[in-house]
Each structure stands twice: as structure tokens, then as C-alpha cells.
Amino acid sequence: MVDLVTEQDGLHWDEKYSLEGLGPDCAPGPPRLFAANEYLFPTCGHAIDLACGRGLAAVWLAVRGLTVYGVDVSTVAVRFARDLAARYGVGDRCRFEVLDLDAGLPEGPAVDVIVCHLFRDARLDKTVIERLMPGGVLAVAVLSEVDHGPGPFRAAPGELHAAFSALTIVSEGEDGGEAWLLAVKA
């Protein structure tokens, strides 16, 4: 039986991605907040892109040489991600699935990179840290209360830092309604 909340989430995001589409200007790349530290991302290994959306970060990682598993609650987004991977010739290094992360992180081995862009469920933080290999890179960007005020799905000031303090934080920031953190597991 399908969870009603999951079904509603999926429909919401399907509609959003259907309106946005996957036009020719959709090019793979690191999330904007991590572009300055692109050199920290490995060029081989395995990655997970949580709430991968249209697959821009996942396909960028695959183009770099990683094997990527991307998950999203939207069937439309996953279809776009698969199309983007094929367009860039990395369909063989990308696997995309429709998955609701409310059920937890998908099972699997430790990975070299975890990207979580504009999604975060604090219940997954410990599992995310455990899922990284030593030397693995975590890139998280979320909506923030900083310069915006409280709201649903917005991280409180310092929340990402506190949640991932077990990792070596390389870069972090909070402004303009966004919070981000780039960290490496020792």
C-alpha cells in the first residue's frame, strides 16, 4: 500500500518538475554552493545523490568518473535524470530510482560521495555519516532560517554544523536563506 504522504509528495514534485522541464540549458554541474570546491570531489568511486531532482549533480559526478545512485520521490525528475545521463553518455554509470527517503536511506555499501541538495531529513544524518567511506565527501545544502526567518524545512542557525560535527568540515556557510556544508569523513 502506498503511503498517502509519499503519494502527495510525489505528485507535488512531479508537477514542479513537469513545469520546469529538462531543457537544453540544463547542464550537469556541482550545486552552485560547492562549485568553488569542485576539486575536493573524487574522480572515481561511488556516490549517492539524495533527492537528486533532474540529476544535474549526479550526472556531473558520473562525467567526473564516479558510479552514481540517485534517488528522488518524483517519477518525472527520475525520468529527466535518466534522460540527462543518456544525453551526456554516462547512462551506464548512473542508476536512478523513485524512492521516498521518509522510509530511510537505501541499503548499500559505503560510498565516496553523498550529495544532498535542497533536501534534508535530520533522521537520516547518522546514517549518512555512517554510509561515507573514510575520506568520503559529504555535500549538503538546505533552506535556512538565516536571512529568511523560520519556516518549514528551514535549518536553524548552526544546525548543519552541529549535525555533521563528527566529520572534518571543509567549507560551510549560512546566508540568503541557504545553509551549506562540505565535509570529509576522517
Strand 178-184 to 132-143 pairing: antiparallel
The total of structural domains in the chain comes to 1
- At 2 the pLDDT is 40
Nearest residue to 16 (alpha-carbon basis) of 134, 127, 118: 118
pLDDT of residue 4: 44
pLDDT of residue 58: 98
**Residue 88, Cβ neighbours under 10 Å: how many?**
17
In tens, the pLDDT along 70-98 reads 999 999 999 999 999 999 999 999 999 99
**Among 57, 74, 56, residue whose Cα is nearest residue 137:** 57
Q: What does residue 81 show for φ and ψ, rounded to 5 degrees?
A: -60, -45
Q: Which domain holds residue 81?
A: 4-184
Please choose, from the candidates 49, 66, 45, 50, the residue with its C-alpha nearest in 3D space to the C-alpha of residue 58.
49
131-165 in b/e form (b: 16+ CB < 10 A) is bbeeebbbbbbbbbbbeeeeeeebbeeebbeebbe
- Residue 53's pLDDT is 92
Q: Check residue 20 and give its pLDDT.
A: 75
Residues of the chain with confidence (pLDDT) below 50: 1-5
How far is the C-alpha of 173 from the C-alpha of 161, rounded, in Å?
Answer: 9
Strands (E), 12-152: 46-50, 67-72, 94-98, 111-117, 132-143
* pLDDT at res. 22: 64
pLDDT at position 23, please?
62
Report the pLDDT value the prediction gives residue 5, as an integer from 0 to 100.
Answer: 45
The CATH number of the domain holding residue 104 is 3.40.50.150
